[in-house]
A and B are shown apart, each in its own frame.
Chain A
Amino acid sequence: MKVTTATYGDAIVVRAEGRIDQSSAGDFQKELSGLVDAAVGTEKQIVVDLSKVDYISSVGLRALMVANKQAKPKGVTIRIASMQEVVKEVFTISHFDKVFPTFDEMPKALQAVSALAAAAYTDED
């Protein structure tokens, strides 16, 4: 699994790639935790781009939940964008779709953060 980050206006976008499972969830969690810490107090929000993630296991989902528990009390929202169909199914089965705001496309997720984030994304991509 590979994780990269980018900033668009007041949105921090986390792009994961590959499988998020037993072997990679720990690194994914550390990455998310660091980004939540970075977002606290800055009014930045986090969007996790899962378009290149082809599978996420329960441990991977747990990593997202741990980050959400860290983020929410501090006013940071984690949004999920661009899930592949299988990952979307896993979200539904796990009921994580009831916990996280999810968006089919990245522009919509960024629009939900702010017009500034959406505009910055449009300019760059």
Chain B
Amino acid sequence: MRIRFWGTRGSIPTSMNADHLREKIGAAVKAVIEAGGDPDSAIDALPFNMRGTYGGESSCVQIETGGDEYVVCDMGSGARRLALHALGKHGPGAPQVYNIFQSHVHWDHIMGFPFFIPAFIPGNVIRIHGCHDVLEMAYRRQQDNPSFPVPFDFLGATIEFVPLEPDQTYEIAGMTVTPFRQLHAGDSYGYRFEKDGKVAVYSTDSEHKLEDQEETDYFIRYFRDADAVVFDSMYSLADATSLKEDWGHSSNMVGVELCQMAGVKMLCMFHHEPVYSDAQIDQVLAETRRFEEISRGDGPPLTVIASYDGLEIDL
């Protein structure tokens, strides 16, 4: 099983401006000169925030299991790059089946669909799975006049909306998929994907407080022994419990605690705060790893990573 991250930012896409890029290049050049020796090795040794970027596309994550059909969580702006990748791989004349699993229909999770080129191509089949009864309405509405010039009915692919029920298990695209209800305005749904003994959980846009044991146990059940959990860790705990309480997102610390309680192997921090620079996300990652050490106790270590646009993880 492989997880490919096409969009990892929360709430709204973002990008570096010229000043941010110059600052990044300046810091990298200075560090490489100071290091001396082979430039390529010196670049490889730089911290990620200097040699790379977390990117700025909103939520879109692909789960690959070796099957023919695509499995994709959310259609945020990252879906555009996924589309380009798929077309580059197969060409426009080779019809594909895309299974989309929708966490919820807030704009940052559907905004990539009008730019998802496979939707325009006859022969492709796109099945949009979700637990919200407003799923189809939300997809259609964002392409309605005056918001977008191409109406939904113009799309050439066969597009189906597939209602799912939380806590029910389905066999889709050769995988076992179980949606579960999360804590977000208007509800959001996480998905547990299982195949050949590997488990990936997609859990974004959920505000976990861990105060209610019954509620916590519900999530532990779906996170249990996962190889990787893609987790909305948008805020610091201070923000999540004060200014941004009840905004529907969790903190890095709660992500660590929940994954530790569930025996998860890897926490993939996701839905990054759009105001954070690459350096700030690096800092949050370092702090989260330290918190994992502090809070681990006698339990096994939990690997903590910060997902970025373009990251691929093999489980």
Do B236 and A58 have beta carbons less than 8 Å apart?
no
CA–CA, A22 and B212, complex, Å: 9
Q: Which of B211, B213, B257, B287 contacts A93 (CB 8 A)?
A: B287
Q: Which of A62, A65, A89, A96 contacts B290 (CB 8 A)?
A: A89
CA–CA, A98 and B211, complex, Å: 23
Nearest residue, chain B, Cβ from A68: B242
Known: A58-B254, A58-B257, A92-B287. A99 touches B238 (CB 8 A): yes
Do A95 and B239 have beta carbons less than 8 Å apart?
yes
B253 CB–A CB distance under 8 Å: yes
CA–CA, A96 and B235, complex, Å: 12
- Would you list which residues of chain A between 81 and 99 have a CB under 8 Å from chain B? 86, 89-90, 92-96, 98-99
Which chain B positions have C-beta within 8 A of A98? 238
- Would you list which residues of chain A between 33 and 60 have a CB under 8 Å from chain B? 55, 57-59
Chain B residues proximal to chain A, CB less than 8 Å = 209-211, 213, 236-239, 241-242, 251-254, 257, 287-288, 290-291, 294-295
Do B294 and A58 have beta carbons less than 8 Å apart?
no
Do B209 and A62 have beta carbons less than 8 Å apart?
yes
A41 CB, min distance to chain B CBs, angstroms: 24
Cβ contacts A to B, 8 pairs, < 8 Å = A22-B213, A58-B251, A61-B237, A62-B237, A65-B238, A92-B287, A94-B251, A95-B238
Which chain B positions have C-beta within 8 A of A86? 294
**Chain A interface main SS type:** helix
Nearest residue, chain B, Cβ from A23: B213
CA–CA, A98 and B239, complex, Å: 10
B253 CB, min distance to chain A CBs, angstroms: 5
Do A59 and B287 have beta carbons less than 8 Å apart?
no
CA–CA, A101 and B252, complex, Å: 23
Which chain A positions have C-beta within 8 A of B291? 89-90, 93
Which chain A positions have C-beta within 8 A of B254? 58
Do A57 and B295 have beta carbons less than 8 Å apart?
yes
Which chain A positions have C-beta within 8 A of B251? 58, 94
- Would you list which residues of chain A between 72 and 118 have a CB under 8 Å from chain B? 86, 89-90, 92-96, 98-99
Do A62 and B213 have beta carbons less than 8 Å apart?
no
B297 CB, min distance to chain A CBs, angstroms: 9
A2 CB, min distance to chain B CBs, angstroms: 20
